[in-house]
Amino acid sequence: MATHETDTALDVARIRADFPILAREVNGRPLAYLDSASTSQKPRAVLDAMRAFYVTANANVHRGVYTLGVESTDAFEAARDAVQGLLNAPSRREVVFTRNTTEAINLVAQTHGRATCGPGDVIVSTVLEHHANLVPWQVLAEQTGATLRFLDIDDEGHLQLDALDGFAREGRVRIVAVTHQSNTLGVRPPVDEIVRWAHAQGAVVVLDAAQTVPNRPVDVQTLGADFVAFSGHKTLGPTGIGALWGREELLQAMPPFLTGGEMIRSVRLDRTAWNTLPWKFEAGTPAYAEAVALHAAIDYLTAVGLEAIDAHELRITAYALDRLAEVPGLRVVGPRDAALRGGVVSFVLDDVHPHDVAEILDRHAVCVRAGHHCTQPLVERLGLAATVRASFYLYTATDDVDRLVEGLLDARRVMGV
């Protein structure tokens, strides 16, 4: 077995005790939850924070002058400060709450994109992308007449950057949209190089950090991207809350996305003045209770340590790659080297359909995802229709991986391969 010993090893047993759902059984067996790339489970601290907020401080934000309204506004804005700290953003004005990564990327496409792209312009994305970082750019290209180009990958999923200069010859590159880590292959693109190239073209970089903010330090100042999006529900937080970080000068110049509510400074029947940042982009009642719970999630992650979580995922991934190699007929897709990927392993098993594999694994209480993982162009590029995906997080134990392997050996027996 490959080991990657560091002095930041997590106490996984202690961490698991913080997640009530991990104590439940499915089909009479203890749960092996291997679908954290889809959504994370929630520690008690997050569940308690959301409940305590509703029990003690609930009132709409930015409206009431009474004590509850002030307290809930303070708690909501404190959550923004926590996101600012998590991302090391230079200013809280740059942190916009959204429902999730998908909404954050659509916001950029429909505001910055609509304002800057036109015929003769080029938008660059990649075949690695989740649909959330692909379809908004397709729609934008249709709306504006810009050309959309995709970077291809090699057989392990590494982006082939040599195509970039060819894209630049087709027109003025305005936007480069890339994932920080593929949710299907786990591969981590060379963002530094992509940012350098994009900025040399005068383009902005939109980074889909849905798969990295949860499990490693993401510092927007060192990354150099112009927009960074993530989802709270993959980051130990609740659903319905995510965030977009954007450079202040870009956010200032952008028109609003949705209108109504707190994004307005004053309304007359003939015109409306927008609020200042970040509220200009937060229309209607925001998910403030969810923001408070996300704050608790950030505190939890920070206390455990994102570097330690990243190191743990690397160890678990290396362990999983070794153990999966013991299953006859199993083929892992994506980088063979665990050091080149995050805690996501996709694979196919001989002629067994991934949905059958996932269904048999469920009998073992092993939760994995089967399908194209909202990356249909990528899975097709790999010559497949679907894969089975196991994904790991801070609470994943080697025992979960062992149970996955046992379940896969059973799937082979049941399916007669």
Ligand X SMILES: Cc1ncc(COP(=O)(O)O)c(C=O)c1O
Active-site residues: which are they?
A: 374
Kindly indicate which of the ranges 73-81, 95-103, 258-266, 295-303 contains the residues binding ligand X, using the contact rule CB under 6 A.
95-103
Q: What does the chain come to in residues? A: 417
Q: Contact with ligand X (CB under 6 A): which of 72, 126, 144, 183?
A: 183
> What are the backbone dihedrals phi and psi of residue 387, each rounded to the nearest 5 degrees, phi first?
-135, 170
Q: How far is the CB of 294 from ligand X (least distance, A)?
A: 12
Binding characters for ligand X, 210-229, by CB under 6 A (x = yes): xx------------------
Kindly indicate which of the ranges 98-106, 139-147, 187-195, 265-273 contains the residues binding ligand X, using the contact rule CB under 6 A.
98-106
Kindly indicate which of the ranges 24-32, 203-211, 334-342, 386-394 contains the residues binding ligand X, using the contact rule CB under 6 A.
203-211
User: Does residue 387 interact with ligand X by CB under 6 A?
Assistant: no
C-beta of 75 vs 210, nearer to ligand X = 210
C-beta of 140 vs 374, nearer to ligand X = 374
C-beta of 57 vs 187, nearer to ligand X = 187
Tell whether the torsion through CA atoms of 405, 410, 414 and 417 is positive or negative. Answer: positive
Cβ 395 vs Cβ 16: under 8 Å: yes
Which residues lie across from 344 on neighbouring strands? 391
C-beta of 72 vs 183, nearer to ligand X = 183
User: Does residue 396 interact with ligand X by CB under 6 A?
Assistant: no
As given in the structure block, the two tokens for residue 5 are: 């010993």
Binding characters for ligand X, 336-355, by CB under 6 A (x = yes): --------------------
Cβ 153 vs Cβ 128: under 8 Å: yes
Strand intervals (E) in 192-305 = 204-208, 227-231, 242-246, 264-267, 272-274
Kindly indicate which of the ranges 94-102, 145-153, 159-167, 299-307 contains the residues binding ligand X, using the contact rule CB under 6 A.
94-102
As given in the structure block, the two tokens for residue 283 are: 């229309």
User: Does residue 116 interact with ligand X by CB under 6 A?
Assistant: no
3-state SS, residue 363: helix
Q: How many residues bind ligand X (CB under 6 A)?
A: 15
Burial of 263 (0-12, 13-18, 19+ CB in 10 A): buried
Q: How far is the CB of 148 from ligand X (least distance, A)?
A: 18
C-beta of 110 vs 231, nearer to ligand X = 231
Q: Contact with ligand X (CB under 6 A): which of 40, 41, 100, 317?
A: 100
How big is the CA angle at 194 (ends 192 and 197), to the nearest 5 degrees? 110
Which residues lie across from 230 on neighbouring strands? 243
Binding characters for ligand X, 29-68, by CB under 6 A (x = yes): --------xx------------------------------
Binding characters for ligand X, 133-162, by CB under 6 A (x = yes): x-----------------------------
As given in the structure block, the two tokens for residue 353 are: 């359909």
As given in the structure block, the two tokens for residue 354 are: 């991934």
Q: How far is the CB of 100 from ligand X (least distance, A)?
A: 3
Burial of 406 (0-12, 13-18, 19+ CB in 10 A): middle
Cis peptide before 190 (omega within 30 of 0): no
Q: How far is the CB of 288 from ligand X (least distance, A)?
A: 18
Q: What share of the chain is helix, strand, coil (3-state, %, to 5)?
A: 45, 20, 35
Neighbours of 276 (CB within 10 A): 10
As given in the structure block, the two tokens for residue 286 are: 């925001």
C-beta of 72 vs 102, nearer to ligand X = 102
C-beta of 73 vs 387, nearer to ligand X = 387
Interface with ligand X (CB under 6 A): 37-38, 100-102, 130, 132-133, 179, 183, 208, 210-211, 231, 374
